[in-house]
Structure 1
Amino acid sequence: MNRTQPQGALLVGSVNYDDAETTMRTAAELMGPLLKRIPDGEPGKRFHWIMFQPDVLGQTDGIERVGEHPIPLRMLDARPLRIADGVDPSKLQLPPLGYAEAAVESYEIFRRLRDEGVIAPGTRFQVSLPTPLAVVGAFFPPEQRAAFEPVYREAMYRELAEILDAIPHDDLAIQWDNAVEFGIIEDVLHRGGRGAESWWGDDVWAGLTERSADEASRVPLDVEVGFHLCYGDVAEKHFIEPTDAGNLVRFANMLTDASPRPISWIHLPVPIERDDDAYFAPLDDLRLGDDTELYLGLVHREDGADGASRRIRTALGHAPVFGVATECGIGRAPEGTTEDILRTHAEVASAW
């Protein structure tokens, strides 16, 4: 392995195509041996990450939509949710969340494309899931989160179990998406109050990383598990720009220590304007497992290979072995830009 340049690439999850087959065909064609895992691009109602969950959960007896009028987001209604007065959250019967159904459907496309030789043998099918905390923290009022979180967590774990039952384990990789967690860590304004002020647990850092360790534990050892650490991507902007990679490294280290199983990869974002040593310096203290791959989200649509290469040169002084990625999914990138983004990955990374 050449230890002086990035090795491989990661597609974080969403890709700006209308269907899973186009995503997988195009990614395999343009990125091929760079990818150990390939997602379905989260098309359809999943195009905006968790924003379809209010429509799903709003079907539940005992859960209400907040506000009289829908908040349209393409085909979705983005209004938040609340548990109705007098309802015991533990008695709620949530419907299927939609993640398992989508994964099983897309896996059949993945398998067909692999059989046709489009996707290389040994490539895994990547399923990206939000942490349960993300949905609870994004859509429910602060005073209801502690009681509802275990209910939603069990519903998400049922989705995971269905995925594990339906897809051969040696074909599968699960990624947990951690974004709302960093809204809490950074104490930024989000629905229901400022981050730390609306936290419903005890110690913030221990509570968040223990949750992620539990999520890792639910993935069997013969299935890969990775974590995408995220600062959001609404209109291609973070909810706050991190001062440096310090909180990302702290979270990754604590998760590595707490996880009862090896973590296959961890992804850390890099803001477009950060090509300075100060941003990357905390990577000097990153402690990942021997078999954990590091991906840095330093590929950006706006400045392509030149900008990525500039950030890579600085990052190499602090993390000599890593793969490349965008800082978040590219499902909301402007139409017509997706192939160029994929080509940039290929231009700045080499195969494993």
Structure 2
Amino acid sequence: MSTDLLLVGSIPYDTVSDVFEKFGRPLASHLAALPDGEVGLRTHWISRIHFQVFALHPDLEVVRRPALENGIERLQPRNAGDSWQFRVRPGVEQIHFGDSGWRLGYARDAVNSYFVFRTLRERGELPNGLRFQVSIASPHSAAPPRLFPDAKDCAIVRAAYQEAVKAEVAMICAKIPHEDLAIQWDCATEVQDAYGAIPGYPKEGAIARNTGQIAALSPDIPAGVALGFHLCFGTLGGWPRFAPDDLSATVELANGFIEAAGRKVDWMHIPALDNINEAFYAPLANLKPKGARIYLGMVHHMDTFEQRLKLARKFLPEFGLAAYCGLGRTPQSGLGDILNEHLQALEIAG
């Protein structure tokens, strides 16, 4: 399969079939793996974990929830200030999530979506060799400090989520043939942390602070399953939620994750802003991919795309293309234009 393009994850059509047929089929020949679009409640990424998993746990208390909208509950936050917030109940030192392998919902959704994927492939509507991609929020991104202001609470919940993710990945790998499967770790909080942009978390030691979760989870993914990473500047409240001056700490984090994975990393997605300063891209020269395919998230603002492409190629001559993030917070009406931007980017990149 070609590795010209990566689809990060969310593509907010109504059904998995819509994603595969409307977005996947036109781009499939350029992809190594195809996600199911994270449709439905998964559209807003980690928010689903907050209201479907954290808010229901007996050892967690809801401190804040998204404000009502016209008197009706709202599950997805409008911005960081409107997001869910929790605390661990007093006296609780450790928590666990029940229904091991299924509680987070990743395995259940993956098994159901893979059935649709396999059916379309058997019909010849998707090519042989294309993998089915499952994108999973990392423990540090699923439980960021803004949700758990108490550092001890944050650590307790991250450990519990990591334990649950480990079981979900094992279940996914047991239910989907390894040669058909790709797993991607989605990491946004880690990128902010790498730049020292999270209050109370010093920049010094940030890389080591975030690689332990990767070292704990990635080696258990079987060798026959592809593994990728999506690094993110965030879209909650508008993109980018966080805009660094250059890619230096992002590259340092990418190198740290590749080293910590304990197995082959097949791809690394690095976001790029609408930045036309050479200094922004210069740190790409310091990447140590160790065989991983690098994808730059620069399919946006197509009026400057070619200029940004040339700047990036000065420091990283060979890479694939992607959007800056998943598209979950994009109106469905705009998806056709975004699809065309991907095709346009391929043509420009040559």
Using the size of structure 2 for normalisation, the TM-score is 0.88
Q: For 1:340, which of 331, 337, 342 is the aligned residue?
A: 337
C-alpha separation in 2, matches of 1:34 and 1:103: 22
C-alpha separation in 2, matches of 1:64 and 1:181: 25
Structure 1 residue 27: deviation in Å? 2.0
Instruction: Work out whether 1:280 is the aligned partner of 2:260.
Output: no
C-alpha separation in 1, matches of 2:276 and 2:122: 41
Instruction: Work out whether 1:181 is the aligned partner of 2:182.
Output: no
Partner of 2:296: 296
C-alpha contact 1:16 1:331 (8 A) present in aligned 2: yes
C-alpha separation in 2, matches of 1:42 and 1:149: 22
C-alpha contact 1:253 1:288 (8 A) present in aligned 2: yes
C-alpha contact 1:28 1:118 (8 A) present in aligned 2: no
Number of aligned residue pairs: 334
Partner of 1:3: none
| Identity within the alignment, % | 34
C-alpha contact 1:17 1:331 (8 A) present in aligned 2: no
C-alpha separation in 2, matches of 1:60 and 1:155: 13
C-alpha contact 1:297 1:325 (8 A) present in aligned 2: yes
Structure 1 residue 208: deviation in Å? 0.9
Partner of 2:133: 126
Residue identity matched to 1:82: R
Deviating 4+ runs (over 4 angstroms): 68-78
Structure 1 residue 342: deviation in Å? 1.7
C-alpha separation in 1, matches of 2:265 and 2:34: 17
| Structure 1 residues 54-203: aligned runs within 5 Å | 54-55=50-51, 56-67=53-64, 74-76=74-76, 78-90=83-95, 92-94=96-98, 96-137=103-144, 138-141=146-149, 142-189=151-198, 194=199, 196=201, 203=205
Q: For 2:306, which of 305, 309, 317 is the aligned residue?
A: 309
Residue identity matched to 2:88: I
C-alpha separation in 2, matches of 1:7 and 1:143: 42
Q: Which has the higher contact order (CA 8 A, sep 6+)?
A: 1
C-alpha contact 1:188 1:195 (8 A) present in aligned 2: no
| Structure 1 residues 242-281: aligned runs within 5 Å | 242-272=244-274, 274-281=275-282
Instruction: Work out whether 1:324 is the aligned partner of 2:321.
Output: yes
> What root-mean-square deviation, in Å, do the aligned CA atoms of Structure 1 and Structure 2 show?
2.4
C-alpha separation in 1, matches of 2:279 and 2:85: 38
C-alpha separation in 2, matches of 1:219 and 1:233: 28
Q: For 1:212, which of 187, 211, 214 is the aligned residue?
A: 214
Structure 1 residue 311: deviation in Å? 1.3
* Structure 1 residues 45-97: Cα deviation after superposition (integer angstroms, max 9, x where no partner): 1110000112222222221111488656754585322211222324x444501
Structure 1 residue 213: deviation in Å? 3.1
Instruction: Work out whether 1:29 is the aligned partner of 2:38.
Output: no
Q: Look up the SS of the partner of 1:153 in the other structure.
A: helix
Using the size of structure 1 for normalisation, the TM-score is 0.88
In structure 1, the gaps of 5 or more residues are 1-5
C-alpha separation in 2, matches of 1:316 and 1:204: 28
* Structure 1 residues 121-148: Cα deviation after superposition (integer angstroms, max 9, x where no partner): 1000000000011122252232312233
C-alpha separation in 1, matches of 2:272 and 2:65: 39
C-alpha contact 1:70 1:79 (8 A) present in aligned 2: no
Partner of 2:40: 44
Q: Look up the SS of the partner of 2:333 in the other structure.
A: coil
C-alpha separation in 1, matches of 2:118 and 2:266: 22
Q: Look up the SS of the partner of 2:56 in the other structure.
A: coil
C-alpha contact 2:9 2:326 (8 A) present in aligned 1: yes
Deviation larger for 236-245 or 66-75: 66-75
Structure 1 residue 214: deviation in Å? 2.9
- Go from structure 1 to structure 2 and tell me whether the alpha carbon gap of 1:7 and 1:131 turns closer, same or farther (over 3 Å shift): closer
C-alpha separation in 2, matches of 1:68 and 1:47: 18
Structure 1 residue 245: deviation in Å? 1.0
Q: For 1:230, which of 202, 227, 232 is the aligned residue?
A: 232
